[in-house]
A = this chain, B = another copy of it.
Amino acid sequence: MLGVCYYPEHWDEGRWELDAKRMRELGISYVRIGEFAWSRLEPKRNHFTFEWLDRALDVLHKAGLKVVLGTPTATPPKWLMDEHPEIAPYDQNGQVRGFGSRRHYSFSSQTWWRESARIVEIIAKRYGEHPGIAGWQTDNEYGCHDTTVSWGPEDLRAFRQWLRLRYQSTDQLNEAWGSVFWSMEVNSFDEVELPCRTVTEPNPAARLDFWRFSSDQVAAYDKMQVEIIRKHSPGRWITHNFMGFVLDFDHFKVGENLDLASWDSYPIGFVEKFPFTEAERNRWAETSHPDIAPFHHDLYRGVGRGRFWVMEQQPGPVNWAPWNPVPKPGMVRLWTWEALAHGAEVVSYFRWRQAPFAQEQMHAGLNLPGLDEWSVGGLEAGAVAEEMAKLGDLGAIGKAPAAIVFDYASYWSTKIQPQGRDFRYEELAFRWYEALRRLGLDVDFVPPGAPLDGYRLVAVPCLMQVSDAALAALENTDAVVLYGARSGSRDRFFRIPENLPPGPLAGLTGNRLTQLSSLRPGIEEGVAGGASGHAIRWREYLETNAEVLARFENGDPALTGKGKHHYLACWPDEALLSSTLKLLAERAGIEVLDVPSHIRIRRRGNLVFAFNYGPEEWTAPIKGDPILGEKRLKAQQVAVWRV
């Protein structure tokens, strides 16, 4: 199904009916509204002006549209910030991040929690049982613009309290953090400082705890909103629209609060955000990289425990990347189908009509700026709607043959302690995902500790801390498992395990790490054997009692296998990663299909989708004629087979 994000408060009320009518004509079923409207709902404290929203809801509902209502907490209004300056977040330099855009609040502020609860309750009460409301969105894009973590006095207060609960005594905290090093010991929790603005780097254990604390706050804040809504809006689902490549909080944790996950898909903008090479950026500038959106579809399907939406789908050029090209013709349609193929229940475009004013005036909509006239994206959305109608039900998403264990804490840990400047967790996980999909495989994402039943290949790109639950899941799986470098290299207090890395994985892998190198760009080391290529960025020195499947140039083990458990002791280049995963897929008995760099395959129900990100054509080695598109797949085209 298709949806759209709409801001009735941006347009003359006289235009609402036509807007709703044209939405239906285009094939739109869902409309998300309200998430930035606080100053229009409560222009002054306790002075409420809900009537316009009442009317807007009625117009939409009467037109047959289902409404997703957002809580407006991403944009506290000026009067509130002036009343309570303590709500504002602080940056790492201790400077206030002030009013004037959005997300200007700290999760640590008790005032903010109280005020959030107040406005959410008022809205939930008023609209909770409105027949037009299908579901709710909490806040908007937690963590976007680097807003998970704040570095102010409220944050310090809350962090100390969190530490008190976690450690009970400063003795335990000093022990856990190794504070004896550099005389960092504290005698009271009130002596703990924020782990920033130190002369040289702060204690990594303190930093990890501060990140955990910050992540916990997001989940708890979201839960507070969810519980209020549930109370007042029975029978409606609740979601949050996550952002792409925001890894500062544990999305799985927030997902636990929700009925389904959703995310905001800006495939082209993300090409500038992700650490691609310049050559890759140029290659994918006008189509996006074929795994950028799918990576998130699969991740958020995991976060939503099988259910997800695209809440905001890029419908044309956006405004916020360093460069913002027009997508190639067909890409809005392709992205929509790609989302559906990965299981999206709804793809909702952002936004209905380009706004001619304020920060996002260069962000395309389904209609031209201020006009009742389709943009290119609007026309492509309409085409998808027609095609969806023809195809009917797309079927259920099955369990993929391969799973990636994705771990937010490993992102935090490697940011805190990269050891090599280019060790980037998100890049590593993405490359592993890309390599699996280049083998034609569907991929699920699972959090560490979740059961791994039913998978045949489990990839663990890097799992710094292996909890008891995570270990148990790995011990219990029948899948072939591949662990990447640094897995098991820290305990929960950010210490090197007593048995050396991979710590809890020593038994499963048969390995012990005695040394490691981070390798500057230009330094690499060849690997040969059952898999081959080069180690770049990171290279580990192992002692092993496992089978050595590939070796470094000097004979050291590079890839080991002990039963089903394999360990790759480096950051692999593309060749090594690909050949390693191919070897393991073979060991797992999974059939693979090498696809070119611009082609991707995805299955849903009994449908097989193929996507061509261009520019070369491609003939799909899939039996039979597609029910949508052509077997000889042109650039920016989609084909679908029923199998």
Contacts and interface: CB of A to CB of B under 8 A. Distances in A.
Contact of A498 (B370, B419, B421, B495): B370
A460 to B, nearest CB: 21
A103 interface: yes
A39 B89 contact: no
Given A184-B39, A323-B520, A523-B282, A357 B495 contact: yes
* Copies per complex of this chain: 3
A197 B95 contact: yes
A193 B100 CA distance: 7
Given A198-B99, A355-B181, A78 B324 contact: no
Contact of A185 (B43, B179, B198, B205): B43
B43 A199 contact: no
A75 to B, nearest CB: 4
A410 to B, nearest CB: 16
A183 B522 CA distance: 49
Nearest to A140: B182
Contact of A419 (B93, B195, B197, B319): B319
Contacts of A316: 515
Contacts of A495: 356-357, 361
A100 B325 contact: no
Contact of A77 (B96, B100, B183): B183
Contact of A36 (B75, B182, B204, B539): B182
Residue among A38, A182, A368 with the highest chain B CB neighbour number at 10 A: A182
Interface in A322-349: 322-326
A9 B186 contact: no
Contacts of A520: 272, 281-282, 285, 322-323, 325
A514 B325 contact: no
B361 A515 contact: no
Interface in A1-29: 7, 9-10
B500 A200 contact: no
A500 B364 CA distance: 13
A247 to B, nearest CB: 18
What size tier do the contact residues of chain A reach?
35 or more
Contacts of A39: 179-180, 183-185
B185 A77 contact: yes
Contacts of A449: none
A199 B103 contact: yes
A177 B358 contact: yes
A570 to B, nearest CB: 12
A202 interface: yes
Contacts of A180: 9-10, 39-40, 358
Given A317-B516, A420-B323, A104 B37 contact: no
A203 interface: yes
A369 interface: yes
Interface of A: 7, 9-10, 36-40, 43-44, 72, 75-79, 82, 89, 93-104, 144-145, 147, 177-187, 191, 193, 195, 197-206, 272, 278, 281-282, 285-286, 316-317, 319, 322-326, 354-362, 364, 368-371, 375-376, 417, 419-421, 493-498, 500, 514-520, 522-523, 539, 541
Given A36-B181, A43-B187, A98-B197, 20 more contacts: A39-B184, A77-B185, A78-B184, A82-B191, A95-B197, A99-B184, A101-B182, A102-B182, A181-B355, A181-B358, A181-B360, A205-B358, A282-B523, A319-B419, A323-B420, A324-B420, A325-B519, A357-B494, A361-B494, A369-B496
